[in-house]
Amino acid sequence: MGTIKSCRDASKSFSNLRSPSPPPVTSSTSRFETVNGSHEFRINGYSLNKGMGSGKYIASDTFMVGGYAFAVYFYPDGKSAEDNASYVSVFIALANEGTDVRALFELTLLDQSGKGNHKVHSHFERRLESGPYTLKYRGSMWGYKRYFKRTLLETSDFLKDDCLEIRCVVGVVKSHTEGPKIYSITPPPSDIGQHFGKLLESEKLTDVNFEVDGEIFSAHKLVLAARSPVFRAQLFGPLKDHNTECIKVQDMEAPVFKGLLHFIYWDALPDMQEMVGLNSKWASTLMSQHLLAAADRYALDRLKLLCEAKLCEDVAINTVATTLALAEQHHCFQLKAVCLKVIALPENLRAVMQSEGFEYLKESCPSVLTELLEYVAKVTEHAVNTCSGYGNGTVLDGNYANGRRVRQRLY
């Protein structure tokens, strides 16, 4: 027969057992609020509505609150026959299909004497007593059978020039429950630009070539057409270029067209200094100016605005006049305003007038000089900030390279 061995120290064995962890505590919040809206109902010719008969009403236009339609009903001879037309009745009715629409209401008969003694019947003030009223179906209503005694109404300040005004306020009750978010997954940012950019760099599946200033650029018709209405017309329109093996682009330099393609595929500005091959702010400004003109030519509005913002950041003494001319020619009104304000500053005006860009401005856009004079007349020593990074008493950098002024041309 087997034997049963007893535990040497039962208390020690049980002490090793862990007590169960408390259950997790969860929480949620139920939120109730009202979506409020108001409507003013004006009744002209009150006396002409007398004698309609009990139960006959004049309805306001419907108005929406919280996704439901309501209307004000005014009964000149009362809603019920038992009142013997001694009282006028006013109600707010549900005017569309709805099930159990819970709401608070307020009716105000406006005092037209200017004294502000309005007659107010408010459900909002009594919500703790009875809670919201429920309208169960179309035509359900809330209001007062004996709203106002007719004889008193017709001798009161509420009736003026045979006109009554009733203001109605409706607060539709909405509710939702909020609970803790147990799981959260953060999606990555869009990388579609990288995919298209790498497609451009790979030069695979290209079906159109452009010759620009002696250089050849390969691209994809569908991508160009999707991004630019000008390319769409050129490649697929009735007057499209049939020789897509090599389309010549006139009046544009190769680095500018390369930057244009970069934006079309990457949806971002290229590295301006890398495009020009010069490491200076002047080179960046010059590239931005050319790229803005190209963006306007090919109706790339986002690129145009990005170039405007870049030129605003890099505005300088020896480039601001050229930028102003560019803004005028390509209808960049925000950039134009910035340039005018910067040039008009007393500490900048003389230096700008001595720049080569100012001579170009006078020749290409003489009408802008009149606007510039108006700005100069308005500017004081305490000029307000006109662009991020440039403000009161700031003399702009002239951007000279190696001690000499650099001519504005891309190489």
DSSP of 296-319, one letter per residue?
A: HHTT-HHHHHHHHHHHHHT--HHH
The pLDDT confidence band at residue 5, using thresholds 50, 70 and 90, is very low
Q: How distant, in Å, are the alpha carbons of 165, 226, 315, 344, 366 from that of 341?
A: 52, 38, 11, 5, 17
pLDDT tops 80 at residue 162 = yes
Distance CA 62, CA 64 (A): 7
- What pLDDT was estimated at residue 18? 58
Supply the pTM of this predicted model: 0.51
| The pLDDT of residue 7 | 41
Q: Identify the band that residue 375 occupies on the pLDDT scale cut at 50, 70 and 90.
A: confident
Predicted confidence (pLDDT) at residue 49 exceeds the cutoff of 80: yes
pLDDT tens per residue across span 264-275? 999 999 988 887
Q: Are 325 and 357 in contact (CB under 8 A)?
A: yes
The contacts found for 377-380 with CB under 8 angstroms, 24 or more apart, are: 378/344, 379/341, 379/344, 379/345, 379/346
pLDDT tens sequence across 294-324: 999 999 999 999 999 999 988 888 889 999 9
pLDDT at 294 (0 to 100): 96
